[in-house]
Amino acid sequence: MPRKDRDGLYRRGDSPYWWASYTDVSGRRIRRSTGQRDKREAAKVLAKWKLEAETAWKREQQQDWTFDELMLAYLDATQDSKRSHGRDLTSCRHLYPAFSGRKLRDILTHDVRAYITQRRKEGAAASTINKEVGLLSSAINYARREWGWDIHNPAQGCRQREPEGRLRWLTKAEAAALVEAARQSEKAPHLADFIILALNTGMRSGEILGLEWRRVDLSNGLIWLEAEHTKTARRRTIPINAGAKTALLSRLNWRARHCQDSPWVFCDQTGRRIASVKKSFETACKRAGIEDFRIHDLRHTCAAWLVTAGVPLAEVRDLLGHRSIQMTERYAHLAPENVRSAVQRLDGDFGVEGQMV
């Protein structure tokens, strides 16, 4: 019997060539001549055959992957790295009735478009549909990139046009009325300070309620937000103005009276972090006569006040922690004087009737 070396190559007495032994896609042991007399060249041929066999095996295995297997694997792999994991779970609940049990190779673009049509009929917003279809697309791209799956992406190019985002903000008088209404809340003595801090910093609700005293520097007038504390996973520094300082000192006095060891800026009498202000905020809005106003709109209000005061959009972007200037441009229309001053520069080049002078 011919002796095979560790590389799977061997000699036969009846052949001048090196022979190879390897396993094909079906698991069968294949023995064939490489047609090469030189062992190094024979090794290259064997490596090529092994790679082809492995690629064919992977392709055959992957063609049986189902939507369910993909999503379970993707959600498990990204649950610790994606801040939107909770949102992904919600999107999955909508995707499953349409795609559960189906093989990925059988899901085509027209199936994704049919899903979009059905979700529209159910009244889902374009932004919601984009999150759902985007999850499917992200999962497939992740499998292709990280696991080497040779699968197509039927969700690519299916993003829906979204209407311009909602923009609701308060006037200074409305804000004052809201703060006064919040002060009347016996069950939520922290609410007024929460509102004042939000209006003066533009911080998100989660950033405020998750704020610890170790990240508040009153002496230098700064609040420190690390990547783990922000939605965009980017650190930023928030300046403390007079209004924000008043709210923070109020919280500091509260802690001194009730729970001196609590690390949280917004805590209850036992020192535990306050998880939500939604109910008390809605009550305060009703008491102040303010309609169609949400907690996140406090952030919009801060941005709107800054823009109308003439603060450049780039500076507003940095304060709010937007990923790009495009997100901040939604407030640009609140500063019409900037556009007015731009067109007035043409007055020196044109006459009253529009003729060049």
Per-residue pLDDT tens digits for 269-318: 999 999 999 999 999 999 999 999 999 999 888 888 888 887 887 887 88
Residues 213 and 176 in one domain: yes
DSSP 8-state code for residue 161: P
Residues 201 and 302 in one domain: yes
Neighbours of 81 (CB within 10 A): 8
Confidence of residue 352 (pLDDT cuts 50, 70, 90): very low
pLDDT of residue 356: 42
Residue 152 domain-assigned? Answer: no
DSSP 8-state code for residue 350: B
pLDDT at 25 over 70: no
Residue 151 domain-assigned? Answer: no
DSSP secondary structure, 127-144, as one string: HHHHHHHHHHHHHHHHHH
Residues facing 330 on adjacent strands: none
Convert 3-35 to b/e letters by CB count within 10 Å (16 or more is b): eeeeebbbeeeeeebbbbbbeeeeeeeeeeebe
Return the sign of the alpha-carbon dihedral for residues 239, 245, 251, 256: positive
Query: Which candidate, 283, 277, 279, 285, places its Cα nearest to that of 178?
Result: 285
- The number of folded domains in the chain is 3
Q: Which residue has the tokens 């919040």?
A: 182
Instruction: Calculate the average pLDDT of the chain.
Output: 85
Residue 164 domain-assigned? Answer: no
pLDDT at 219 over 60: yes
CATH code of residue 300: 1.10.443.10
Residues 241 and 321 in one domain: yes
Q: Which residue has the tokens 């650190």?
A: 235
Question: Is the Cβ–Cβ distance between 146 and 77 less than 8 Å?
Answer: yes
pLDDT at 350 over 60: no
Give the Cα separation of 115 and 69 in Å (integer): 19
Residues 221 and 301 in one domain: yes
Range of the domain at 33: 9-62
Confidence of residue 357 (pLDDT cuts 50, 70, 90): very low
Question: Is the Cβ–Cβ distance between 168 and 294 less than 8 Å?
Answer: yes
Residue 350 domain-assigned? Answer: no
Give residue-wise pLDDT tens across range 136-191: 999 999 999 998 888 899 999 888 886 666 678 899 999 999 999 999 988 899 99
Residue 313, C-beta contacts closer than 8 angstroms, at least 6 positions apart: 307, 325, 328, 329, 331, 332
CATH code of residue 131: 1.10.150
Residues 108 and 194 in one domain: no
Residues 53 and 74 in one domain: no
Give the Cα separation of 83 and 90 in Å (integer): 13
The residue type at 147: W
Question: Is the Cβ–Cβ distance between 135 and 92 less than 8 Å?
Answer: yes
Confidence of residue 336 (pLDDT cuts 50, 70, 90): low
Geometric angle at alpha carbon 65, from 64 and 68, rounded to 5°:
135
How far from chain centre, in Å, is Cα 231? Answer: 7
Query: Which candidate, 320, 65, 355, 356, places its Cα nearest to that of 207?
Result: 320
How far from chain centre, in Å, is Cα 282? Answer: 27
The residue type at 196: I
Residues 214 and 330 in one domain: yes
pLDDT at 342 over 60: no
pLDDT of residue 5: 55
Neighbours of 327 (CB within 10 A): 16
How far from chain centre, in Å, is Cα 254? Answer: 35
Give the Cα separation of 210 and 231 in Å (integer): 12
Residues 309 and 287 in one domain: yes
pLDDT at 192 over 60: yes
Residue 221, C-beta contacts closer than 8 angstroms, at least 6 positions apart: 239, 240, 241, 245
Give me the mean pLDDT over the 24-42 stretch: 85
pLDDT of residue 279: 94
pLDDT at 28 over 90: no
Residue 249 domain-assigned? Answer: yes
Residues 108 and 234 in one domain: no
pLDDT at 225 over 70: yes
Helix or strand or coil: residue 72? helix
Residue 224 domain-assigned? Answer: yes
| Maximum alpha-carbon separation in the chain | 104
| Proportion of the chain above pLDDT 90, given as a percent | 48
Residue 132 domain-assigned? Answer: yes
Backbone angles phi, psi at 170, to 5 degrees: -105, 155
Residues facing 30 on adjacent strands: 22
Residues 21 and 122 in one domain: no
Residues 94 and 179 in one domain: no
Residue 352 domain-assigned? Answer: no
Where do runs of H (alpha helix) occur along the chain? 39-62, 67-78, 85-99, 109-121, 126-146, 172-183, 191-201, 205-209, 242-258, 278-288, 297-308, 313-320, 325-328, 336-344
Residues 132 and 188 in one domain: no
Give residue-wise pLDDT tens across range 105-121: 899 999 999 999 999 99
Give residue-wise pLDDT tens across range 261-273: 999 999 999 999 9
